[in-house]
Each structure stands twice: as C-alpha cells, then as structure tokens.
Amino acid sequence: MQPIDKFGNEIYPKTFGMMQFYGRILTNKGYKESKKKPNLFYKIIPEGQLFANMQGTEEVPIWSNPRPLFHWRLNPTTPKWKKGRIIKTELTSLFKAKCPCRFSFYFSYEPNEELERNDGEVDEEKGIYNWNDGYCEICGKDFQGEGAFCSEKCEVIHKIKNVPKCNVCKKPRVYSSILNMAIKYDDLFCLEKCEVTDIIKHSPKCRACGKPILNKSNLERAVKYYDENLLTSSVTGHHTNYAQDKKIPVCKSCHLKIHRTNYRPLFKPEDARSCLQSNTLENKNCLDCKSLFQPKHRNQIYCKACLTKLPMKQRFPRTYKLAEKHCLDCNDSFQPRHQNQTYCTVCLIKLPMKQRSEKPPTCRGCGEVFEPQHEKQRYCTKCLIKNDWVNKTYG
C-alpha cells in the first residue's frame, strides 16, 4: 500500500494507518492488492470478482472517509437473488471483522440493476443490508428464487403488519380491503369469536349467578361460540332495601329464586315492599262521603267504603269531564264521552252502524259542524256567503 490517492495526492499518516488496518483485514479474508493500482484490493470467486477500493474518488476523498469502497463485477448469467446473497454475505463478514465498507455515492439515489432492493433499510455504518437474497423476509426459508417472500402467505403477513390488531388475540382485524386475503388465510386474522369474547368480558354480570348479561344482538352472536345456558339477556333490578331503593342487577330466573326459595339469602330484601308505597300519595276527599282517605293510585277518587257500593263500571270513573254539546239531530244538550261525539246516545242508536263512527264534517272557516250539499264542500253556507265564494263559483 502507498500513502498516495488515485490522483497523486499525499495521504496523511493517521489516515494511512487506518487504511493499513483495513488492508490487513482484507488480506485475511482472501483479498489481494493490485500491482498496477495500489490501494485497490480484489477477490476472485466463481461468480466473478469483488473489489474493496481505497484509492479515493472525486466525490469522496480518501481522507474524508477511509473506509473501502465496495463494488463488484459478477457474471450476467448469475440470478439476482444469488448476486444479492454473495454481496450481502461478504459485506456482513467484513463488518463483523471490523472493516465496514461503503457504497458508491450514487448507490442510494440510482436503482441498481443487479440488486433487487426491497422496502427494508440499508445502513453501512450499522451493517444493515436489506435486499432480496433468496431468503424469505418473514419466515427465513431458503427458497432460492426472486422476490422477498417464499409464498403468498408470507406476503400477506408482510402486508398486514400495520393493520390494527385485536385486543384479545393480537391478530389483525378483518376489513373490506383485505377480506379476500382473510377468507383464504383465516388463521392469520382475528375471528368474530375474539370480539364476542371481549364483549362478554366487559359486559355486566348477574350478581347472583355471575352470568354475562348481553343484549339480543350480542346474544345471537355469542351463542355461535358459547353455550346458551351460560349467557342471559333478561335482566331486572332486585331490591335489597326498599326504603333506600337499593337495587342490584340480576337475571330474571335468579330474581324469582331469591324471592320464592332460599337461594342467596343475603340478597333477601331487608324490609317489606309496603314501605315504598307508604305516604307516597297525598290524602284526598271522597267524592261521595267527602271523608279523607289514602289513595292507592292517583286516579282514585272514592274511598274504599264508597267503592264497594258503586257498580263495577262506575268504580273507576273518568278523572275529567268534557264540555256539554248539542246533538246535531235533536239539538238537545248531552255529555259527550269523547271529543268527536256529535250525537247524543238516543240519536246514535237510531243511526246505522256505519254512520256511528263517522266524523261529521266541520267548516274550515269557522270550525262549526255543518251539513254539506255535495262531497267537495269544505265550508259552511255562512262562510261561503261571507267570502262571496258562492257567486264566484256558480255565477
């Protein structure tokens, strides 16, 4: 080796010492120095030649980066994957021997026809060289072919790396864009069972038997993977204390067992149900005897003694009364049972059954009931004369 670069410039002793250190490592790895071109090392292999050049270039002078410039000259008939494996193996062995090599200035910017680079990282200083070398990028299988993956399944695994994962099994979730892949390779993707398991895990439980409480839609999905007897969709609030209105969620079957049997005696109500109804409604005066009484419901207007005297139909009368109306037929006043009633009870009996439920027409102007002269009449005679519509219509 000589302390002169390719262009005849003198190399400083410190830089030349590093070059000599790299030269000794290259010699141990089977490289030879060229006699015609000093500081150029080469290695002959069956597939071609490998070079480690420490002569320096115009873009990168040797004193700025004394690492050997690695390049090669391989047979054109050698497949790309084999070229990649030869170069990667050689660079890795030199890096482990503490002789890191560098690539040409244009290697990172221009595509190389001899190497099929993948999406991986290439870092000379860290010894990372990611390009296709006949080994599968996912499983590491030596398939000795072009590409980065040995099978379609490994390619699918590479594509779904950034797909959101399931919280239970940590497998990718199935989306519409990867549905075809999920159908073919279902073992790689999260199934519906994981989602159902997660729903069951975070669903409320029956405090008595511990069964998960699901709604109807989730229960239909869960029955496909779990026993129906271990799930429930019927839930009710069981009172453990009526006075303080304390409730716990239990399924309906457990609710009946608690009240009718000795099942879960600690869940029995501490007091009677009557304390909920006591003094909840104000006292009223009976409409008949005018005495005060405690109503059982809001619509009760008679005391218990007066209710027993009344007929069954009158025990629960209406709490409100409608204003009196005049019958359209006999013109007598009557008490209507509903707002649309326009005939009294006597006149309703005389009418045919079809006409009893028909509503009488009302004027759109004044709102009063009138007898139309034809089917399309919507206003009474007074409103028609008032607006002069009769003269306009019939002349």
Residue boundaries of the structural domains of the chain: 13-148, 160-190, 194-277, 284-314, 361-395
| Separation of alpha carbons 377 and 388, rounded Å | 15
What backbone phi and psi angles, to 5 degrees, belong to 100? -70, 130
Question: Tokens 């292999």 sit at which residue?
Answer: 45
pLDDT in tens, the chain (395 residues): 888 888 888 888 899 999 999 999 999 999 999 988 889 999 999 999 999 999 888 888 888 888 998 888 889 888 888 888 888 889 889 999 999 988 886 676 555 666 766 655 677 778 788 778 888 887 888 888 888 888 877 877 777 776 667 666 667 666 555 556 655 665 566 666 777 777 888 888 898 888 888 888 888 888 887 888 888 888 888 888 888 888 889 988 898 888 888 888 888 887 755 554 444 577 888 888 888 888 877 778 888 888 888 776 566 555 456 678 888 888 888 888 776 788 888 888 787 765 665 566 778 888 887 777 776 777 888 887 777 654 444 43
118 close to 131: Cβ distance less than 8 angstroms: yes
Contact present, 250 and 206 (Cβ < 8 Å): yes
What pLDDT score was predicted for residue 324? 84
The span from the first CA to the last CA of the chain, in angstroms, equals 127
| Per-residue confidence (pLDDT) for residue 354, from 0 to 100 | 56
Give alpha helix (H) positions in the chain: 13-28, 80-96, 152-159, 179-184, 192-202, 216-222, 252-260, 274-277, 304-309, 345-350, 353-356, 381-386, 389-394
How many secondary structure helices (H) and strands (E) does the chain include? 13, 12
Q: How far apart are CA 15 and CA 63, in angstroms?
A: 6
Alpha helices by DSSP H, 126-251 = 152-159, 179-184, 192-202, 216-222
Q: Is 241 helix (H, G, I), strand (E, B) or coil?
A: strand
pTM over 0.75: no
Please, what's the b/e burial string for 290-301 (b: 16 or more CB within 10 A of its CB; e: otherwise)?
eeebebeeeebb
The alpha carbons of the chain give a radius of gyration, in whole angstroms, of 48
- Write down the pLDDT at residue 32: 92
From residue 98, alpha-carbon distances to 11, 13, 19, 119 in Å are 22, 20, 12, 27
The per-residue pLDDT for 49 is 92
Query: Whose structure tokens read 């870092």?
Result: 123
